[in-house]
Amino acid sequence: MNTSFEPTANACVRLHRATRYLIDACAVSDGVVDTGAWLAAGAPHICSAESARFHRPPRVLRKTLAQRMAEDDWRFASTPGGVESLEASHSTAEALYLWGDLAQLSTRNRQAWVNSLNRWQDEASGYFLGPYVLPADHAAWKDPRQTHPWMHMQDHLLSVLVPCLLMLGGQPRFRLSRGSQSGRFLDRAYLEHFLERDWSGYRDDGDYARHNPWWMGNEFWYPGCILWAISVCECGTPAAERARQLLDQVWYAWHDANFNECGFWAGTLSDDPVRHWRSQGTTARDRIHWAAIQVMGGAHQLWLYDHERHPIPPEVRRRQTDTVLSLQAGDGHFGLYGADEANSQSTDCTDVDCLTLLAYNLRADDYRRAEVRAACDRAASAILRDKIDAHGVLASRPGEGWAHHGLSPETYSPPGAPNLHQQGFYLWAVLAAVSGLEGSADPAVQSFIDHPWPLMPTHWLWVPGRFTYLGTEGA
């Protein structure tokens, strides 16, 4: 790929141009994995050494935005040379929106993109059964240590696709309230049971009714997202009214009642230290790790909290801010073991979650304002220093292979190759970091402060606008 993006241009301009170049290079091709051989071998984790023998050199095809607009072709690969991926399509739409490029699309183009995504929706389940998640009956799901389970991944895709469809001016083809899966949270008893689960388990025990807070945070986010989607997409119907009631009376009510000492959620195990720690240990480092995984889980629910302006007690916000600030390591990134670590081993998840929550709380509260701003400035500088790969785009771990989950060759990028999902998602961290900054001594960070970023119209990739904290956005 071409990496000569005017090195004299500012960092924001360079990233924009590199991202557009990557999007053009992600026309649908033959794939970077011999999927048939990989499946025949039992579908080992796609990023594992065992799967390396199934990787193949990519045949990279390019298609410019102008060509796509002319042809109304809105299929994208996650990486240059890859096959079609639903994640790549929604990630591209979001990145183009944030950079202001989506404005080039006509109403017809946007509807064609909506139709391209909607062709994968299954009416019976309500899920989007497209190129992203293996079928539910595939043997690969029998090993629970490989990845999140099938329903988890489908709920995740639904939770991010609906905001993308709304951003494009559309909505799901079939009513979510009528799907056997997408409509299941309209059953109050089911929703209450779903939220009253034991959080103490860990993924290697194979019991997916019992997870740690990071994994559970995702799962507890999904019913909120899906009920929100029904309330918006089916507005004026009894299903929408019921969804809104359950969102307020059950989902928010459960979360409001269960904030813990860190300002997040970790189940109700305070009376049972053994189950609470579950082999995590009791050292100071272990306690920081236990707090960190609550942040990485709790950020998901708080995206919805902030977008809807759902109230959070000031003392809870302050506990959240204290917890998040304690996770910034010596390299400026946010990790799982706190400030005593020189190298955070950060990823897009840790930086995005921590910086987004700092942005929310900076808008809502004056607590530790100078420290929060300093932390955000350091982190933005670190991301733009450490997380730009050889192609000039953002990467969770530059130089390493990446996939959103272990059974998804459609989302896989080989070591050294860029990935479209990273562009919108990691950009979210930078935008959160700069949203409350008035200026920076780092010219790269300043270039992002100066850019006129739009507000996302939905909870997905939601960051408060600059200088719109302390309640000035309205309740």
DSSP-assigned states of every residue in 26-89: ----S-SB-HHHHHHTT---TTSGGGGGGB---------HHHHHHHT----BSSTT--B-HHHH
pLDDT of residue 275: 46
| pLDDT for position 287 | 79
Per-residue pLDDT of 250-301, as tens digits, reads 999 999 998 988 899 876 544 454 444 444 556 778 778 888 988 999 999 9
Structure tokens at 82: 């890859």
Which residue ranges make up each domain of the chain?
11-117+126-146+273-450
Q: Is the separation of the CB atoms in 250 and 195 below 8 Å?
A: yes
Note the pLDDT of residue 158: 97
The tens digit of pLDDT for each residue in 106-115 reads 999 999 999 9
For 446, phi then psi, to 5°, come to -60, -35
What's the rounded Cα separation, in Å, for the pair 323 and 326?
A: 5
Residue 475: pLDDT above 70? no
Which band of pLDDT confidence, cut at 50, 70 and 90, is reported for residue 347?
very high
CA–CA dist 320, 291 (Å, integer)? 10
pLDDT digits (tens, 9 = 90+) for 130-160: 898 889 988 888 776 667 788 999 999 999 9
Rounded Cα distance between 127 and 120, Å, is 8
Name the pTM for this structure: 0.93
Q: Distance between CA atoms of 331 and 385, rounded to whole angstroms?
A: 10
Inter-residue contact 1 to 62 (CB < 8 Å): no
Model pLDDT, residue 290: 81
DSSP result, 145-181? TSSS-HHHHHHHHHHHHHHHHHHTT---SS-GGGSTT
The neighbouring-strand residues paired with 388 are: 394
Cα separation, 399 vs 397, whole angstroms: 6
Residue 8: what pLDDT? 67
First to last CA, the chain: 46
Residue 464: DSSP 8-state: P
For position 473, what pLDDT does the model report? 37
Element (H, E) at 11: helix 11-24
- Tell me the pLDDT tens digit for each residue of 50-94: 999 999 999 999 999 999 999 999 999 999 999 999 999 999 999
Give the type of residue at 328: Q
pLDDT at 465: 82
Q: Is residue 209 predicted with pLDDT exceeding 50?
A: no
